[in-house]
A and B are shown apart, each in its own frame.
Chain A
Amino acid sequence: NAGVTQTPKFHILKIGQSMTLQCTQDMNHNYMYWYRQDPGMGLKLIYYSVGAGITDKGEVPNGYNVSRSTTEDFPLRLELAAPSQTSVYFCASSYDDSGANVLTFGAGSRLTVL
Chain B
Amino acid sequence: AQSVTQPDIHITVSEGASLELRCNYSYGATPYLFWYVQSPGQGLQLLLKYFSGDTLVQGIKGFEAEFKRSQSSFNLRKPSVHWSDAAEYFCAVGHASGGSYIPTFGRGTSLIVHP
Listed in ascending order, the chain A residues whose CB lies under 8 Å from chain B are 4, 31, 33, 35, 40-43, 45, 48, 50, 56, 58, 90, 92, 96, 99-103, 105-108
Contact among A42, A99, A105 for B107, CB-based, below 8 A: A42
Q: Is the CB of A42 within 8 A of B102?
A: no
Can you list 28 contacts pairing A with B, beta carbon distance less than 8 Å?
A40-B9, A41-B107, A42-B6, A42-B90, A42-B107, A45-B104, A48-B102, A56-B97, A90-B43, A92-B43, A96-B100, A96-B101, A99-B32, A99-B99, A99-B101, A101-B101, A101-B103, A102-B34, A102-B46, A103-B36, A103-B44, A103-B46, A103-B103, A105-B36, A105-B43, A105-B44, A107-B43, A108-B43
Q: A102-B46, A106-B43 are in contact. Are A56 and B103 (CB under 8 A)?
A: no
Chain B interface residue count, CB cutoff 8 Å, equals 29
Other contacts beyond A33-B102, A100-B32, A106-B43: 10, CB < 8 A = A40-B107, A42-B105, A43-B90, A58-B102, A92-B43, A99-B32, A100-B101, A103-B44, A105-B43, A108-B43
Distance (whole angstroms) from the CB of A21 to the closest CB of chain B: 14
Q: What is the count of residue pairs linking A and B with beta-carbon distances less than 8 angstroms?
A: 67
- B3-42 interface code vs A (CB 8 A; 1 in, 0 out): 0101001000000000000000000000010101000011
Listed in ascending order, the chain B residues whose CB lies under 8 Å from chain A are 4, 6, 9, 32, 34, 36, 41-46, 49, 51, 90, 94, 96-108
Chain A residue nearest to B32 (CB atoms) is: A100
- Cα separation A92 to B76 with both chains bound (whole Å): 23
- Cα separation A58 to B95 with both chains bound (whole Å): 13
Taking each of B42, B99, B101, which has the highest tally of chain A beta carbons within 10 Å of its own beta carbon?
Answer: B101
- Cα separation A106 to B45 with both chains bound (whole Å): 10
Set of chain A residues within 8 Å of B36, measured between Cβ atoms: 103, 105
Taking each of A31, A42, A107, A108, which has the highest tally of chain B beta carbons within 10 Å of its own beta carbon?
Answer: A42
Distance (whole angstroms) from the CB of A37 to the closest CB of chain B: 8
Chain B residue nearest to A4 (CB atoms) is: B43
Set of chain B residues within 8 Å of A96, measured between Cβ atoms: 100-101
Chain B residue nearest to A56 (CB atoms) is: B98
